[in-house]
Chain A
Amino acid sequence: MSNIAVTDAAALPTVAKPFLTRLGTGFFNRLVIIVPYLWLLFFFLIPFVIVFKISLSQTAIAMPPYTPVLDFRDGVSGFFSGFRDLNFDNYVWLTQDALYFKAYITSVVIAAISTVLTLIVGYPIAYGMARAPATIRPTLLMLVILPFWTSFLIRVYAWIGILKPEGLLNQLLLSLHLINQPLVILNTYTAIFIGIVYSYLPFMVLPLYSSLEKMDYSLIEAAKDLGCPPTSAFWKITFPLSLPGVIAGCLLVFIPAVGEFVIPDLLGGSQTLMIGKTLWNEFFANRDWPVSSAVAVILLLLLTVPIMLFQQAQAKAQEQGK
């Protein structure tokens, strides 16, 4: 055996650090943590600070179109001195214009309704998948995930051709004589609901499926054995046990849906009001960066609670995984 190696190691300081025995030396450990940490700090957290700061600036016809200009080239002191010229005018403006208030409310309501609709559509699918023979389950799972891999934009676009007045849906309904004149669906809230349910369905089905699949079917059999009819067994056993999946799925749909841009823009038309679209227009059409920053800050505050709920659920799932 390697006697030399042993003597070598004995020469180490007698008070050994526990990390020596774990995977990695101190340097290696720190590198693993520091690199992604710094990256996320710089590209995720600091941008929010900047958004907040610019939301307190004034609009200006210049490039960049706001004053005081935020410029890190003056060093950190320049960054802080800029704060003196800031004020809450943009937020006051947001409260005075009913348009923004309406946009926030509409977004939340649309997102909430769509989340419930997605749950109603997604639950039977997830349930059916979880009860499918074990051999075809992986295939079904792949079929649910596959649309998620294809472009979001394309999937939303596909509905334009279906929903428009001379579109495929109306053609079908007319030829079946179910309706006499084309339904107006495109450019309405209905189209937005359809778009959100369709686009976010995999996000709902996957967590539901994974909590339903884990469930022991003998629980249902036990309930039936004890005299519980199937429907009631579902509501008393299956559904409560799938609640973690329901919560995760709803958050995964609700949070991004509130700030959704592509769906209201392409399917909702110019009349519909959603905050993501408002922000986009404020930024690209009006070039009002401070106001769009203020819109973003409020939107973020609005989503703080659901996002924290989501993170808690994630952390819990992570713990259980261990």
Chain B
Amino acid sequence: MNSWSRFNVTSIVLGFAFLYLPIVLLIVFSFNESKLVTVWGGFSTKWYVSLFHNQGLMDATWVTARVGVISATVATVLGTLAALTLTRYTRFRGRVLFSGMVFAPLVMPEVITGLSLLLLFVAVGLDRGFLTVTLAHITLTMCFVAVVVQSRLVSFDRSLEEAAMDLGATPAKTFFQITLPVILPAIVSGWMLAFTLSLDDLVIASFTSGPGATTLPMKIYSQVRLGVTPEINAACTILIAVVAVGVIVASIANKRREVQRQLDERAAQRG
């Protein structure tokens, strides 16, 4: 038993080191005084300062943020509807096709999705730009939202809805007063997932975006191809920090609620 747990601890520690070391190094070297990314030349925040004077990067950040918020919001609505369809309506024509269309984008190579969406936009005569990137991101991320919300709906106690209707609530009222509030946490995490996916996407954005709608990953990518610079490290660090803080805050809040809940439940059992 003992040797096994030592094995377990070792594999976890090594695994997490592997996962986190590259990110940690990237962050560390964003504070490097030297222009050489791999040689430590002392602590400095000068790259962050120069970052904020880089107009192109700032513009791209603004574009990315807007695309992210809009696409995540629309994707959350569509994805929630798709999740409802998948869990609630087991029999309708084309259900197999529908579930296929929800699950396939999760694993579809991005180059294919990106290319096909671009060809669609060209075919319908839509100019590539802000709108097309947003539409593309909605399509991709709504499937992820659908999966997140669906996994919550599967464990949803249908008798809650029956109870509400039994007490006189119409189906629509039941949905908005009972179902939606109960699955809200899943919907919120679906939104966050959609937002970060949109924030991170390079390939699909490269295909579907046009002049004036360069996203941050596209900007970073074009600079990365020219070589590793501390300035990109700084940009990446900020991006990581934003997402990490968001996720950590959300999960701590979640955890706290959960702990409070358990305490309450224990107290209730005693009382």
Instruction: With A32-B84, A127-B8, A310-B107 as known contacts, state yes or no: A158 contacts B22, CB within 8 Å.
Output: yes
CA distance A158 to B270 in the complex (A): 52
Chain B hits for A122, CB < 8 A: 15
Contact call B109/A256, Cβ cutoff below 8 A: yes
Say whether chain A's binding surface is mostly helix, strand, loop, or mixed: helix
Contact call A23/B239, Cβ cutoff below 8 A: no
Q: Assess whether B70 is interfacial by the CB under 8 Å rule.
A: no
As a 0/1 sequence over residues 161 to 205 of chain B, the CB contacts with chain A under 8 angstroms (1 = contact) are 100010010011011000100000000000001001001101100
Smallest CB–CB gap between A45 and chain B, Å? 6
Of A91-99, A173-181, A239-247, A276-284, the one contacting chain B is A276-284
Q: Assess whether A17 is interfacial by the CB under 8 Å rule.
A: no
B contact residues, range: 35 or more
Contact call A296/B247, Cβ cutoff below 8 A: no
Contact call A158/B255, Cβ cutoff below 8 A: no
Contact call B22/A23, Cβ cutoff below 8 A: no
Contact call A160/B224, Cβ cutoff below 8 A: yes
Chain A hits for B100, CB < 8 A: 311
Q: Assess whether A76 is interfacial by the CB under 8 Å rule.
A: no
Chain B hits for A305, CB < 8 A: none
Q: Assess whether A191 is interfacial by the CB under 8 Å rule.
A: no
Chain B hits for A121, CB < 8 A: 15, 18
As a 0/1 sequence over residues 1 to 40 of chain A, the CB contacts with chain B under 8 angstroms (1 = contact) are 0100000000000000000001111001101110111011
Contact call B85/A33, Cβ cutoff below 8 A: yes
Instruction: With A35-B78, A39-B78, A39-B142 as known contacts, state yes or no: A152 contacts B111, CB within 8 Å.
Output: no
Q: Assess whether A114 is interfacial by the CB under 8 Å rule.
A: no
With CB as the reference atom, state the residue of chain B lying closest to A162: B22
Contact call B19/A36, Cβ cutoff below 8 A: no
Contact call B232/A48, Cβ cutoff below 8 A: no
Contact call B94/A296, Cβ cutoff below 8 A: no
Smallest CB–CB gap between B175 and chain A, Å? 7
CA distance A112 to B231 in the complex (A): 36
* Cross-interface CB contact of A307 among B15, B94, B107, B247, cutoff 8 Å: B107
Instruction: With A43-B139, A157-B228, A296-B116 as known contacts, state yes or no: A36 contacts B12, CB within 8 Å.
Output: no
Q: Assess whether B236 is interfacial by the CB under 8 Å rule.
A: yes
Chain A hits for B99, CB < 8 A: 311, 314-315
Chain B hits for A33, CB < 8 A: 81, 85, 89, 92, 98
Contact call A36/B81, Cβ cutoff below 8 A: yes
* Cross-interface CB contact of A296 among B8, B92, B115, cutoff 8 Å: B115
Instruction: With A33-B85, A154-B236, A261-B203 as known contacts, state yes or no: A51 contacts B23, CB within 8 Å.
Output: no
Smallest CB–CB gap between A104 and chain B, Å? 13
Smallest CB–CB gap between A128 and chain B, Å? 4
As a 0/1 sequence over residues 95 to 133 of chain A, the CB contacts with chain B under 8 angstroms (1 = contact) are 000000000000000000000000001101101110110
As a 0/1 sequence over residues 59 to 83 of chain A, the CB contacts with chain B under 8 angstroms (1 = contact) are 0000010000011110000000000
Q: Assess whether A227 is interfacial by the CB under 8 Å rule.
A: no
Q: Assess whether B47 is interfacial by the CB under 8 Å rule.
A: no
| Count, chain A residues at interface, CB 8 A | 102
Contact call A262/B23, Cβ cutoff below 8 A: no
Smallest CB–CB gap between A27 and chain B, Å? 10
Chain B hits for A266, CB < 8 A: 224-225
Contact call B107/A161, Cβ cutoff below 8 A: no
Chain A hits for B139, CB < 8 A: 39-40, 43-44
Contact call B107/A252, Cβ cutoff below 8 A: yes
* Cross-interface CB contact of A127 among B11, B171, B239, cutoff 8 Å: B11
Chain A hits for B269, CB < 8 A: none
Chain B hits for A252, CB < 8 A: 107
Chain A hits for B79, CB < 8 A: 36
As a 0/1 sequence over residues 140 to 151 of chain A, the CB contacts with chain B under 8 angstroms (1 = contact) are 101111110111
Contact call A128/B25, Cβ cutoff below 8 A: no
With CB as the reference atom, state the residue of chain A lying closest to B200: A151
Chain A hits for B240, CB < 8 A: 150-151, 154
Q: Which residues 114-134 in B have Cβ within 8 Å of A in the complex? A: 115-117, 119-120, 122-125
Which residues of B come within 8 Å of A, CB atoms? 4-5, 7-12, 15-16, 18-20, 22-23, 25-26, 29, 37-38, 78-79, 81-82, 84-86, 88-89, 92, 94, 97-112, 115-117, 119-120, 122-125, 135-136, 138-139, 142, 146, 150-151, 154-155, 161, 165, 168, 171-172, 174-175, 179, 193, 196, 199-200, 202-203, 206-207, 217, 220-221, 224-225, 228, 232, 236, 239-240, 243-244, 247-248, 251, 255
| Listed A/B pairs (13) with beta-carbon separation below 8 Å | A32-B84, A124-B15, A129-B12, A143-B20, A146-B244, A150-B244, A153-B200, A157-B220, A164-B228, A201-B18, A230-B4, A261-B203, A310-B106
9 closest A-B pairs by beta carbon, nearest first, are A259-B109, A47-B116, A124-B11, A125-B15, A128-B8, A36-B82, A158-B22, A321-B154, A40-B101
